[in-house]
Amino acid sequence: DAGVTQSPTHLIKTRGQQVTLRCSPKSGHDTVSWYQQALGQGPQFIFQYYEEEERQRGNFPDRFSGHQFPNYSSELNVNALLLGDSALYLCASSLWGPEQYFGPGTRLTVT
């Protein structure tokens, strides 16, 4: 049973560029949440997708957008990248309740 998978593992982008990160949830899970984790910080909630719709959103600008596909996989898009967007981006899936299963993350570096 595959757990949560994310791609790519690492990514280097230049300021102003756009990036797309991908996530496949754990088998049987229908809800996907995205988090940004800066070094030395706890995860910061970006948004959550359920039934292909954004169900909740954290305090992130509109440059951060997402999508969920019918197979429950999800994408996180970030436009007009800033240096401050450099972080570990974690995807977590769940079925119901608060317990979430995390993927290995994508390390994004913006130069």
Partner 1 sequence: EDKVVQSPLSLVVHEGDTVTLNCSYEVTNFRSLLWYKQEKKAPTFLFMLTSSGIEKKSGRLSSILDKKELSSILNITATQTGDSAIYLCAVEAGWAGNNRKLIWGLGTSLAVNP
Alpha-carbon distance values, 59 to 42, 72, 89, 96, 109 (Å): 15, 23, 15, 23, 21
Q: Kindly tell me which of 11 and 88 has the beta carbon lying closer to partner 1.
A: 88
Q: Which region among 12-20, 38-46, 63-71, 72-80 touches partner 1 (by CB under 8 A)?
A: 38-46
Q: Kindly tell me which of 60 and 102 has the beta carbon lying closer to partner 1.
A: 102
The nearest distance, CB 90 to partner 1, in angstroms, is: 7
Q: Does 4 bind partner 1 (CB under 8 A)?
A: yes
Q: Which region among 23-31, 33-41, 68-76, 78-86 touches partner 1 (by CB under 8 A)?
A: 33-41
Alpha-carbon distance values, 56 to 33, 44, 46, 85 (Å): 9, 13, 8, 20
Instruction: Give the x/- contact pattern for partner 1 in 83-102, rule: CB under 8 A.
Output: -----x-x------xxxxxx
